[in-house]
Structure 1
């Protein structure tokens, strides 16, 4: 069994609106289709996505298969307030996961405590099947850390493209 964690394609940013409501930017479709045709995703798999529009729209462009929507796969919750140093603020969230990195953000542990059990449930149900989850960079970073027993790889998070793919083989203890 292989777990494929797809970070959504580039969103259409709407300042003042929470990122959770942003759609996939139509200019990003070619990037998503390039991932689809890259051969990096399994031909057969169970597919699930975050309910956030940009993630669900990415999933729908990546596969013709049915895509289940799981509310608990949503991203680290953040208000619609614009944050000038977004990367620095996310880094603070990883450094001190028990406290909000800025006003309007949930503590990163809350994201972890929601997303990791959801991923484990999917893996339990799908046993030996490949699984593709389409969602978000910060959430996937905490999932990989939890599943591998390693600290969150913040540098890998910083280097993720939109879309991008993280693959975790034979998830131990899933």
Structure 2
């Protein structure tokens, strides 16, 4: 049976506009929204998480087993604590111009894609016996999905991802095929 890659988007965070989003914790008021995803995930898998608190908190609610934290699964770097009223427009600009930061303090999206896809290719290459569950973020998973499918990023897919959410894909025969030449 083919292995499956599960991508879990973290649950709702406690939004603190005075801190960068990568520091936000998972909101305990929505823990049941996360727990309901357990039934959509495999009983036996290798688990990995972004180092961001909201992702680690989500993983801890979804499995009693070990979860390896992988720094390169972190979200698109947005190191500013600025509150952006029209966040979706700025994210769309990041996807339209992936080689340039879309906002002051943001990394170029192309850098995020290389980092995340490379990390996932390595995980899939090293963990060949079981399904793999990755817990992380919407923008990162949109870039990864693009690499998995060999298609441009689908921003409508990004906009439809819930907090939390889970999607799955067959593991590529050669995970290195996802990497850009």
Q: Normalising by the residue count of structure 2, what TM-score does the alignment of the two structures yield?
A: 0.93
| Residue 128 (structure 1) shift | 3.6
Distance across 2 between alignment mates of 1:170 and 1:55 = 22
The runs of at least 4 consecutive aligned structure 1 residues that moved more than 3 Å come to none
| Residue 172 (structure 1) shift | 4.4
Distance across 2 between alignment mates of 1:172 and 1:93 = 30
Structural mapping, 1:109-128, within 5 Å: 109-128=110-129
Between the two proteins, the alignment pairs up a number of residues equal to 172
- Please tell me whether the aligned partners of residues 24 and 55 of structure 1 are also in contact (alpha carbons under 8 angstroms): yes
Paired residue for 1:5, among 4, 7, 31?
7
Q: Deviations over 1:116-141 (max 9, x none)?
A: 10000000011141000000000000
Aligned to 1:32: 34
Q: Deviations over 1:18-69 (max 9, x none)?
A: 0000000011101001111xx2101100000000000000000000010000
Aligned to 2:52: 52
Q: In the alignment, does 2:64 pair up with 1:64? A: yes
| Residue 87 (structure 1) shift | 0.7
- Please tell me whether the aligned partners of residues 148 and 171 of structure 1 are also in contact (alpha carbons under 8 angstroms): no
- Please tell me whether the aligned partners of residues 22 and 54 of structure 1 are also in contact (alpha carbons under 8 angstroms): yes
SS of equivalent residue, structure 1 residue 92: helix
Q: In the alignment, does 2:164 pair up with 1:163? A: yes
| Residue 171 (structure 1) shift | 2.1
CA RMSD across the alignment = 0.9
